[in-house]
Amino acid sequence: MKRMKKLLMTGAAAAAVCTTLTAASAGTLETIQERGRLICGASQGTPGFGAPDDNGYWRGLDVETCRAVAVAVLGDKDAVDYLPLSGQQRIPALQTGEVDMLPRTMTWTLQRDANGINFTTPNYFEYTGFMMPKSLGISRVEDMSGATVCVQTGSTTEITVNDVSAQFSLNLQPVVFDNTSATRQAFFSGRCDALITDAGALASVRASMAERPDDYVIFPATPYVDALTPAVRGGDDQWMDIVRWSVQALIAAESFGITQANVDDLLESDNPRIRRFLGTDPGNGAALGLEDDFAYQIVKALGNYGEMFERNVGMDSPLKLERGYNALYTDGGLMFPLAFQ
C-alpha cells in the first residue's frame, strides 16, 4: 500500500511537470498577461536606442517600442523587463521564448524570416555605416583600401564588410568580436581603422563613447537601406499582429496628427478614421484580443512615433539624428501607416 502511494505520488509529480511544460506552449498573449510583465530583448547599451539611465530606468527608442506593446497588452508602460542580449544571443532567446519580442535591433532578412522569426512592421530605416577617425582623411568606401574593420558577430554587417570589400577590391581586414563593448573598445583603442554597424548605433556610440565626437566621421557602407523591424518568434500569429499594430499605432498617430498632448481632445473627433483608431468607435482592439482603446492608451502614455524619435535620437537628444528615411511618407520618408480598420 505504501509502495502504491509512492508510485501514485511519482505519477502525480510527473504529470505536474508535463502540465507546466504544456503551459509554456500556450499563446504568448496569455503567458504575458498571466505573468504581468512583458520581457523585451534589449541591446547591450546603445544610448538613444536602449540603455538604462543614471537611475537605472531604461530609456531609448527601442525601449519605448517595448513600452508601447506593454501598454497595449498590460495597460502599464513600466510592466516591462529588459534582457540585454548580444547580437548572437538574441535569435535563440526569441525562439526559445526567453524574450517575448525584439524591438527594432534586427534587420528584416529573408533568411531570418524563413527560419522561425516573424517580423512585424519596420520602425526604423537606415543604412549600414562605417565610422572612422577624421584624422585618417577618409570619408567614402572607395578610399578604404587595406583598412582594418572592427565587426560584431551576429549581425548582417559581417556579410556587408565582405560584400563591400569584394565589390571595390578593398582587401578589408575584419576583426570580429563576440560582444558589443569589446568591438567598440577595440575601435577606439585604434585596433581597427573603422567600425561598422547601423548608422544610428554609430551615432549613439560616437555621442556616448568618443572623447571628442567631432573627431569621427560616419559614412554609408552600402547604398542599400535596411528595414529594422520588431520581431517575434514564429508560430503565434496573434502575438505577431499585436506587436505589429502596437508599433503601427505610433506611426498612424503621427500621420493623423495625434500627439500625447492632444489625444484626449481628439477622442471626440468627427473623423471616422481617427474615431476608429482611438477606439471611440469599437472593433479594432477586440479583433486583436486587446482593449478597444489600445492605440489611445499607447499615444497617451508615450506620444506618437515622431515625438518618440525626437526625444530619444532626434534633435532633442545628444545623437541629433535627422528624421531622413524615418520621416512620414508625406514628408519624403518611408514611414507609412497601415489602415486601422
Partner 1 sequence: MITSLWYSSKARGLAIQIALLGGLIGFAWWIGSNTVDNLIERQIKTGFDFLTAPARFPISETVVTYSPDDSFLWAYVVGVANTLWLSMITIVLATLGGLCLALARLSSHPLLSRLASGYVTLFRNIPLIVQLLFFYGLATSVFPPPSRAISVMPGVYLSLRGVYAPSLTLGPGSGLFLVVCCLAVLTAVLARRSLRKHLSAVSSVAVAVIVWIGICLLGWLLTGRPVGLEMPMLKGLNFQGGLQLSPEFSAIIIGLTLYTSAFAGEVIRGGVEAINKGQWEGGRALGLSERQILFRIIMPQALRVIVPPMTSQYLSTVKNTTLAVAVGYPELGLVVNTVINQTGQALESILIMLAVFLTISLSVSLLMNWYNARIALVER
Which of the stretches 66-74, 227-235, 263-271, 293-301 binds partner 1 when contact is defined by CB under 8 A?
227-235
For 198, phi then psi, to 5°, come to -65, 140
Question: Distance of CA 69 to CAs 3, 30, 119, 291, 329, Å?
Answer: 52, 14, 15, 12, 23
Which residue intervals of the chain are DSSP H helices?
Answer: 2-24, 28-35, 61-74, 90-95, 110-114, 157-167, 180-189, 199-209, 237-256, 263-266, 272-278, 284-288, 294-302, 305-312
Contact 35, 79 (CB under 8 A): no
**What cell was used for 119?**
517580423
**What cell was used for 7?**
508510485
Which of the stretches 60-68, 69-77, 85-93, 310-318 binds partner 1 when contact is defined by CB under 8 A?
85-93
Contact 277, 339 (CB under 8 A): no
Binding mask 239-278 for partner 1 (x = CB under 8 A): ----------------------------------------
Cα gap 246→183, rounded to integer Å: 33
Binding mask 5-34 for partner 1 (x = CB under 8 A): ----------------x---x---------
Cα gap 121→305, rounded to integer Å: 13
**What cell was used for 107?**
534587420
Q: Between 68 and 231, name the residue whose CB sits nearer to partner 1.
A: 231
Q: Between 123 and 165, name the residue whose CB sits nearer to partner 1.
A: 165
Query: Whole-number minimum distance, CB 285 to partner 1, in Å?
Result: 27
Determine the Cα angle at 269 with ends 263 and 274, to 5°.
Answer: 75
Query: Whole-number minimum distance, CB 211 to partner 1, in Å?
Result: 14
Site membership for partner 1, residue 112 (CB under 8 A): yes
Kindly identify the residues of this chain, within the stretch 113-152, that bind partner 1 according to CB under 8 A.
114-117, 136, 144-148, 151
**What cell was used for 70?**
506593454
**What cell was used for 99?**
524574450
Q: Between 95 and 208, name the residue whose CB sits nearer to partner 1.
A: 95
Q: Could you say which of 11, 27, 235, 318 contacts partner 1 (CB under 8 A)?
A: 235
Q: Could you say which of 31, 33, 88, 260 contacts partner 1 (CB under 8 A)?
A: 88
Q: Could you say which of 62, 64, 100, 193 contacts partner 1 (CB under 8 A)?
A: 193
Pairing state between β 124-133 and 216-228: antiparallel
Residues in contact with partner 1, total (CB under 8 A)? 46
Which of the stretches 52-60, 84-92, 259-267, 310-318 binds partner 1 when contact is defined by CB under 8 A?
84-92
Query: Whole-number minimum distance, CB 239 to partner 1, in Å?
Result: 12
Query: Whole-number minimum distance, CB 288 to partner 1, in Å?
Result: 21
Cα gap 111→85, rounded to integer Å: 20
Residues that bind partner 1 (CB under 8 A): 21, 25, 87-88, 91-92, 95, 111-112, 114-117, 136, 144-148, 151, 153-155, 158-159, 161-163, 165-166, 173-179, 182, 186, 189-191, 193, 233-235
